[in-house]
Amino acid sequence: MLYDIIIVGLGAVGSATAYQLSATNKKVLGIDQFQPPHTFGSSHGDTRITRQAIGEGSHYVPLVLRSHEIWRELESKVNTELFRACGGLVFGSSLTNAPAHGSSSFLEVTVAAAKAFGIEHQVLDCQEMQQRYPQFHYQGTEIGYFEEGAGFLRPEKCIAAQLQLAQQQGVELQLNQKVVSIEPNSHNDGVVVKTNTNTWEAECAIIAAGAWVSELLPAAYQKFFKAYRQIMLWFEQELPYEKFVPEQCPIYIKLGETAEEFLYGFPAIDGESGGIKIGTEQFADSCTADTINRNVSADEVEQGFQRISQHLKIKNHCIKSVACLYTVTPDYGFAIDTMPGHPQIILASPCSGHGFKHSAAIGQILQQLALNQRTDFDISAFSLSRFV
């Protein structure tokens, strides 16, 4: 069967691309090895932070601003809340020495991006934060950035909404089908996509395979995409529940003096006994998407409590724990590019722990690249050539 475009992987990025391509007259096929939204990749766990002033670098700001427009457009189409702008607090003990996600001074870059793009924000001293946000423990020297337009997305609902709309508008989906190869055709003007049981041809293929991406890339590129297991923990709150509802508690990022001290969290969204979700990061032990240990051990929960409770007022009662996957590049940046020598094969690997908020706009970028081999967005920072 001949398609114009085949999307391999229908998670955050693939579903956004399917939705964007459904507005064109192209014949589009989306393939996933599971039934998205699912809990095996990088897009589960109920919530993802979104913020407009991007501490990973101001070149991400146009992506998130466009994504916020698309999330709102989607909400009105499916009549479901996808994005809650409860505000966001990014804080650390130093403005300049606060590394995270490849940025050596995440807080400073955040403030600079807000100024450069006219994003409404406040810079808070520790006293102001103590008064406004008593949910945290402070050392007394912290500095904070507050952004009213930040908040959280509902990743599973975003994926479901985009796939539902894409399908309604004619995109074909093949689920529970694992793609085993994506090769240029013999004239190098199309692609051949194979599973163990099917072969499809198209003019163009988009690889949006998340933590499985290296399996579908030529050997020379595989080493640039490493998967890391991350855990999310839901603890009981120590202060009254009302202090943690989205009206009182923003999403937050707590920065330390090393990237490993980074932690982030959300207000309570599952009622009084649902707990509050907090995430930590580790980049010491890589794994693969198929061999990841999906169980979180009692030791990990205890270590998580010891670490998180230094910063957040929680009780030593873990309500839920989930493991998830980051796909990390050497500089923690995204890879969005055509494959060298094969412009009909487009790669999109936007993770390193910060890709969901941008995924709606990345769908638009991939739509434009598939149709025109160019995009209105500046994606030069995401090129593959920086790695080789």
Ligand X SMILES: Cc1cc2nc3c(=O)[nH]c(=O)nc-3n(C[C@H](O)[C@H](O)[C@H](O)COP(=O)(O)OP(=O)(O)OC[C@H]3O[C@@H](n4cnc5c(N)ncnc54)[C@H](O)[C@@H]3O)c2cc1C
Q: Which residues bind ligand X (CB under 6 A)?
A: 8-14, 31-34, 36, 41-43, 45, 48-49, 178-179, 208-210, 212, 216, 230, 232, 279, 324-326, 350-351, 353-357
Query: What's the min distance (Å) between Cβ of 54 and ligand X?
Result: 10
Q: Which is nearer to ligand X, 124 or 335 (CB)?
A: 335
Q: Which is nearer to ligand X, 126 or 333 (CB)?
A: 333
Question: Phi and psi for 262 in degrees, rounded to 5?
Answer: -55, 130
Query: What's the min distance (Å) between Cβ of 188 and ligand X?
Result: 22
In whole angstroms, what is the distance from residue 67 CA to residue 158 CA? 11
Instruction: Count the helix, strand and coil residues of the chain and give each as a percent rounded to the nearest 5.
Output: 30, 30, 40
- Give just the sign of the alpha carbon dihedral 269, 15, 328, 99: negative
Q: Which is nearer to ligand X, 144 or 210 (CB)?
A: 210
Q: Which is nearer to ligand X, 226 or 357 (CB)?
A: 357
Q: Which is nearer to ligand X, 133 or 212 (CB)?
A: 212
In whole angstroms, what is the distance from residue 205 CA to residue 76 CA? 30
Instruction: Give CA separation, 290 vs 178, 324, 325, in Å.
Output: 13, 12, 11
Element (H, E) at 219: helix 219-222
Query: What's the min distance (Å) between Cβ of 15 and ligand X?
Result: 8
126's tokens: 């520790």
Strand partners, 363: none
**Which residue of the chain is nearest ligand X when measured via CB?**
11
Query: What's the min distance (Å) between Cβ of 163 and ligand X?
Result: 10
Query: What's the min distance (Å) between Cβ of 132 and ligand X?
Result: 22
Query: Rounded to an integer, what is the distance from CA 96 to the centroid of its chain?
Result: 25
Cβ count near 310 (within 10 Å): 12
Q: Which is nearer to ligand X, 10 or 86 (CB)?
A: 10
Query: What's the min distance (Å) between Cβ of 267 and ligand X?
Result: 13
Question: Phi and psi for 162 in degrees, rounded to 5?
Answer: -70, -40
